[in-house]
Structure formats: C-alpha cells, structure tokens
Amino acid sequence: MAAVDDLQFEEFGDAATSLAANPDATTISIEDPHETPKHQPGPLGGSGREEDDELLGNDDSDKTELLAGQKKSSPFWTFEYYQTFFDVDTYQVFDRIKGSLLPIPGKNFVRLYIRSNPDLYGPFWICATLVFAIAISGNLSNFLIHLGEKTYHYVPEFQKVSIAATIIYAYAWLVPLALWGFLMWRNSKVMNIVSYSFLEIVCVYGYSLFIYIPTAILWIIPQKAVRWILVMIALGISGSVLAMTFWPAVREDNRRIALATIVTIVLLHMLLSVGCLAYFFDAPEMDHLPTTTATPNQTVAAAKSS
C-alpha cells in the first residue's frame, strides 16, 4: 500500500485525508523541495493549516537537524548566512504574530507556523518595539499620575530606555539559551521525540512577547485593578503559547521534571511582566485617581498598597 502511494502524485487534500486515515503511510509531496519522504502525519509544505491533532512527528528531531544543515550551508562569516534568518514574507510574519495571540489548544506554534524556517526579524523587532512601548508608556503614565502635583517636574526619563532594552533583550536571548541547553541535556538522557533548535526557541519566545506591546500601552491607565487584569490576560495568552510549545518536548521525561520545566517557563514570563510593571510604572495613589468613581474594593486595595 505504501509503495503504491509512493508512485502516485498525491493531491494535497488526498494526502491529508489518506494520512489521517492511515498515519503510517508514506507520502511524497512534490511541492516542497526541502521535504524528504518520512513517516509523519500531517500535510507537508506551505499550507499547514489542516494539521491534525498530533503535536509531534516521529522523526522531528532528525528533520530539524537535517533541514538546519541543508538551509544554512553558507559559512557563518558571510552575509548570506544571516540572510537565511530573514527569509520571511510579510504575510508569514503576520501569521506568526496571529498565532502567538490566539493559542489554539492542540496546535504547536513551532510546528504550525515556524516549520523549520525560524526567523530573527520577528523576535528582534518585537523586542525593539516592546522596549520603546514600555519606556514611553511608563513615562506617559507617570506624567498622568503626577499631573497637578505642585512639586512634580516632568522629565523624559530617557535612561530608562537602555534599562528596558537590557532587560527585554537579555530575557529574549538568555532564557531560550538556558532552556535549549536544558532540553539538550534532557534529550541526552531520555530519547525525546521532539527537540527544537536554538533559533526556533528564540523565535517562539520573541513572538510570544508580542502580546505585551498592547498590554504595555494599556498599562497607562492608572488603575491597579486594570493593570493586574492585563497582566493576567497577557500571561495567560503568552504563557499558554509557550507551555503548549514545550510540553511535547518534555512530556516523555520524568513527570516531575516536565511539570517543573513548564512551571519555570511560565514563572519567568510572569516575573518579566510584573517586574516591568513595577519598575517602569509608578503605583497610582489614592489622592490622584482621576474622577472615575472608585469602588470600595479598589479604594481599600490602593490605600493598602501605597
């Protein structure tokens, strides 16, 4: 049966339905020159939207390594080597951003959107935008909170931009590095089915930070309850993207270690957002709340915290 399938040109739709019916069949897709025949459920090639519910492929690590070797064939001191990391079109970047905003249970961000074409454009410019969004929103929020105080003199606080840049870029590069090292180490002990390359992890982390850009802008609102609700929402969305991405990579491992890994990932994410909120945005004090009527709970909470 598999041999007959090999010799026929498969339509994309047929491949998907036949593979869904028989996950072990081998199909060759002629549309994507990078793909090699392998036992893998799910359609290959560009339109990966009709992915079935399996999060893993059987030889995903091999495929990743093989393609990584195939793609980046230029030596690392040439310009072309780095161009391979920017080989994305506008619609692809938008799709990846959309994927980070709408985590669908059962869909793995890396498999669905990255598909062995990790880019550095998204992580770099999302982090840059986030740095300026946090610094500018923090500045604006402090200005609005202290408006009307006689002793307050507005300063642009430009040095906070460099601090924000250090924090965000360190998070976006060092945490993926640590996570990648950890996954490599566990992979040597336990044969994991899924392993990600370093750039794919950087890519996931970079795109998962996108939700914080509108969050930072909305943090201008000087209400503590609003800010904490925003923290929860943003953490929920980006945390779930990260958790669903890395769960397949650790779930073959010892249960405790797997859970500890996922919890650490989410915890670090929360630390980043809460830390930025605390450092860049002054606490709104009771006396300077705008004329919106504060509920008694908010008033008590604000009075306790100030």
Partner 1 sequence: MAEAEESPGDPGTASPRPLMRDLKAVGKKFMHVLYPRRSNTLLRDWDLWGPLILCVTLALMLQRGSADSEKDGGPQFAEVFVVVWFGAVTITVNSKLLGGNISFFQSLCVLGYCILPLTVAMLICRLVLLAEPGPINFMVRLFVVTVMFAWSVVASTAFLADSQPPNRKALAIYPVFLFYFVISWMILTFTP
**158 lies in the site for partner 1, by CB under 8 A:** yes
Binding to partner 1, residues 87-116 (CB under 8 A): 88-91, 93
For residue 193 the two structure tokens come to 């089915």
CB of 4 to partner 1, least distance (A): 38
CB closer to partner 1 out of 156 and 181: 156
Return d(Cα 265, Cα 269) in angstroms, integer.
Answer: 6
Cβ atoms of residues 115 and 197 within 8 Å: no
**228 lies in the site for partner 1, by CB under 8 A:** no
Return d(Cα 226, Cα 281) in angstroms, integer.
Answer: 13
CB closer to partner 1 out of 155 and 271: 155
- Window contacting partner 1 (CB under 8 A); options: 102-110, 150-158, 175-183, 206-214: 150-158
Q: Write down the H helix ranges in the chain.
A: 2-7, 12-21, 60-71, 79-83, 90-101, 109, 121-145, 159-189, 198-208, 212-218, 224-250, 255-280, 296-305
Site string for partner 1, 130-149 (x = CB under 8 A): --x---x--x----------
CB of 126 to partner 1, least distance (A): 11
Question: Looking at 2, 50, 98, 154, which residue binds partner 1 (CB under 8 A)?
Answer: 154
CB closer to partner 1 out of 15 and 136: 136
**217 lies in the site for partner 1, by CB under 8 A:** no
Phi/psi for 27 (5° steps) reads -125, 150
Phi/psi for 38 (5° steps) reads -160, 170
Closest C-alpha among 74, 38, 69 to residue 56: 38
- Window contacting partner 1 (CB under 8 A); options: 119-127, 194-202, 234-242, 259-267: 119-127
CB of 91 to partner 1, least distance (A): 7
CB closer to partner 1 out of 78 and 297: 78
Cβ atoms of residues 144 and 161 within 8 Å: no
Return d(Cα 242, Cα 109) in angstroms, integer.
Answer: 8
CB closer to partner 1 out of 124 and 247: 124
**185 lies in the site for partner 1, by CB under 8 A:** no
10 Å CB burial of residue 76 (0-12, 13-18, 19+) is exposed
Return d(Cα 115, Cα 96) in angstroms, integer.
Answer: 11
**12 lies in the site for partner 1, by CB under 8 A:** no
Question: Looking at 22, 47, 70, 159, which residue binds partner 1 (CB under 8 A)?
Answer: 159
For residue 24 the two structure tokens come to 């072990």
**170 lies in the site for partner 1, by CB under 8 A:** no
CB of 122 to partner 1, least distance (A): 9
Question: Looking at 70, 74, 83, 295, which residue binds partner 1 (CB under 8 A)?
Answer: 83
The radius of gyration computed from the CA coordinates of the chain, to the nearest angstrom, equals: 23
Cβ atoms of residues 298 and 225 within 8 Å: yes
**Total number of residues binding partner 1 (CB under 8 A)?**
24
Binding site for partner 1 (CB under 8 A): 79, 82-83, 85-86, 88-91, 93, 121, 124-125, 128-129, 132, 136, 139, 154-159
